[in-house]
Amino acid sequence: MRARLILILLLLSVSGSVFGQRISDGNYSTIGYIKSDGTVQSASYTTIGHINLDGKVQNANYSTIGYIKSDGTVQNANYSTVGYIKDDGRVQDASYRTIGHVKDGRIQNANYRTIAHYSGVKDRWAAFFVFFW
């Protein structure tokens, strides 16, 4: 029986399961998933977009809606800067005002109140999902 459970878990992880790739609100209710390949899904597993490894963010129809640059700059589809996700976890709007923090599986607002949790998702992707999607 134990071997069967281990086999099932292995098959789920290989098949692209969203285990551990969840974003939830402050009360741990699931609000979405970002799979390791960058597919963004709603809480009901509907694909709502994609985040490419190069930082391009697309909607479900593959139209570009923004960019996450390697330096943490967040731009809209017209390349206008809408915010920043700093290496220290600060999330800022285009005017450099801190609007949140992302680190160690928690997303907090500017006042450090936890507004979301994430697991198995890149920090910048989780921050983009919560603050800029």
Ranges of the chain whose pLDDT falls below 50? 1-19
SS3 content of the chain, % helix, strand, coil (to 5): 15, 40, 40
pTM over 0.95: no
84-113 pLDDT, tens per residue? 999 999 999 999 999 999 999 999 999 999
Amino acid at 56: K
Q: What is the pLDDT, as a whole number, of residue 117? A: 97
Domain definitions of the chain by residue range? 17-131
The tokens describing 72, both together, are: 């943490």
- Residues ≥6 apart with Cβ < 8 Å to 110: 97, 98, 99, 100, 101
Q: What is the pLDDT, as a whole number, of residue 83? A: 97
Spell out the long-range contacts of 104-107 with Cβ–Cβ below 8 A and sequence spacing 24 or more: 107/131
Q: What is the pLDDT, as a whole number, of residue 13? A: 39
Amino acid at 42: S
Among residues 57, 61, 58, 59, the alpha carbon closest in space to that of 69 is found at: 57
